[in-house]
Amino acid sequence: MAGYDLSGSVKEVEIVDCDVHPYERSVDQLREYAPKGWEKELFPSGREISPAFLYYDPPDYVHARSMRYDAVTPSGDRPGSDPDFATEQLLDGAGIDIAMLQPIPVLERLPEADHARRVTTNNWLADVWLDKHNAHGRWRGAISVSMRDPVAGAREIERWAGHPYMCQVLMCPQSRVSFGDPWFDPIYEAASRHELPVATHVMGLGPFEFTPLNPVGNQTHWHDFLPSWSLLYVSHLMSLVFDGTFEKFPNLRVVFTEGAFSWVLPTMWRMDAYWRARRSDVPWVKRSPSEYVKEHVRFTTQPLEEPPVSSDYKEYLGWMDVGSLLMFSSDYPHWSYDAPHWASRFFPRSALNAIMRDTAIELYRLPRTVLELTSRDSGRSMV
């Protein structure tokens, strides 16, 4: 690995980053990995133009493109598209020992195309990030499956199960169908059989058809749009509980990524109260909702909330069982990145190791040591 000597010692894993976004360097790079017959359809060239859905824009979008401005690669390519630069900036620079990669494949109009796009992404991730640029063994991947075709998704899980670095399944939550719907059963069946958690991540900028459909109409700006991602997860969580998914799949573990987590506390109270009041409506729900959540669901930490009085936040975190529920995440290379050493200051000391590494190590069956990254350069350049 250029710039690093890996022949030295191992080090103890101190920080697992549960939400890092790899991007392809170019359409040409990704096209090579498309399933046979799909190259032209997924990656039109020639006179077709592939525009992006741009109607909710993060700050300074034209220049930053949703990314940390300083994460542009040395060759001037898109942030997150160079595994070696990410090694330098995130693993070495920010002190991350293992990073759980969550690609964000584009949402396609047709289900079969959506599936083919995810097959492409899995092929690319496995080759570029998990093989060619993983001599340090620090990258872990996710098997992307289409929310539009769970049966095909289950086949994709079978294809990758057993891969040494594929540690979870990844699905988009903007499905118009709640996660507890039997529609998703093929994915849960395959994932839980292979003991792979199912993670979900909001796919952000996408077609209106797959933007979370707000029950009372859509917001005006990204600023009011962003908190609503939490409500999308609230509804999915209520569905997983009240539709009995965890009874059907007792091994299933679910990870809600980048949707915040402080909403989980009042949501558990709310679900418990409605369950106690309406048990006969859902006889298949045999335990209290909060018990299911504590056993089956995990949440990544980014973005932490920053209320005007920061002591309020620390007090609030003290009310939650953060040591069981949370896993640290940075969201590198996005603009809403949480630096690990900043984030860790908010967590109760007694739960710090659990949040920064132990819960993720247990969930994903990660090693407790990794190869030390010893820089070949004597000096350290300024980040």
Site for another protein in 334-363 (CB under 8 A): 335-339, 341-342
Say if residues 190 and 251 touch (Cβ distance below 8 Å).
no
Which of residues 58 and 137 has its CB atom nearest to another protein in the complex? 58
The residue behind tokens 């409506």 is: 281
Which of residues 46 and 319 has its CB atom nearest to another protein in the complex? 319
Give yes or no for residue 54 binding another protein (CB under 8 A). no
Give yes or no for residue 74 binding another protein (CB under 8 A). no
Distance CA 97, CA 14 (A): 7
Which of 231, 141, 243 is closest to 185 using CA atoms? Answer: 243
| DSSP for 333-348, written as a single string | TBTT---HHHHGGGS-
Q: How far is the CB of 56 from another protein (least distance, A)?
A: 10
Backbone angles phi, psi at 36, to 5 degrees: -55, 130
Contact pattern from residue 94 through residue 123 relative to another protein, giving x for each residue in contact according to CB under 8 A and a dash for the rest: ------------------------------
Site for another protein in 158-177 (CB under 8 A): 173, 175-177
Q: How far is the CB of 89 from another protein (least distance, A)?
A: 11
55: CB partners within 8 A, 6+ apart = 205
Interface with another protein by CB under 8 A: which range of 105-113, 189-197, 218-226, 363-371? Answer: 218-226
Which of residues 134 and 267 has its CB atom nearest to another protein in the complex? 267
Q: Which amino acid is at 372?
A: E
- Which stretches does DSSP call E strand in 124-275? 139-144, 166-171, 198-201, 254-257
Helices (H), 133-208: 150-160, 185-193
Contact pattern from residue 234 through residue 273 relative to another protein, giving x for each residue in contact according to CB under 8 A and a dash for the rest: xxx-xx--xx----------------x-xx-xxx-xxxxx
Distance CA 224, CA 337 (A): 19
Say if residues 133 and 139 touch (Cβ distance below 8 Å).
yes
Site for another protein in 179-198 (CB under 8 A): 179-181
> 3-state class of 61 per DSSP?
helix
Which of residues 67 and 360 has its CB atom nearest to another protein in the complex? 67
Site for another protein in 266-295 (CB under 8 A): 266-267, 269-275, 277-278, 280-282
Q: How far is the CB of 331 from another protein (least distance, A)?
A: 11
Which of residues 37 and 215 has its CB atom nearest to another protein in the complex? 215
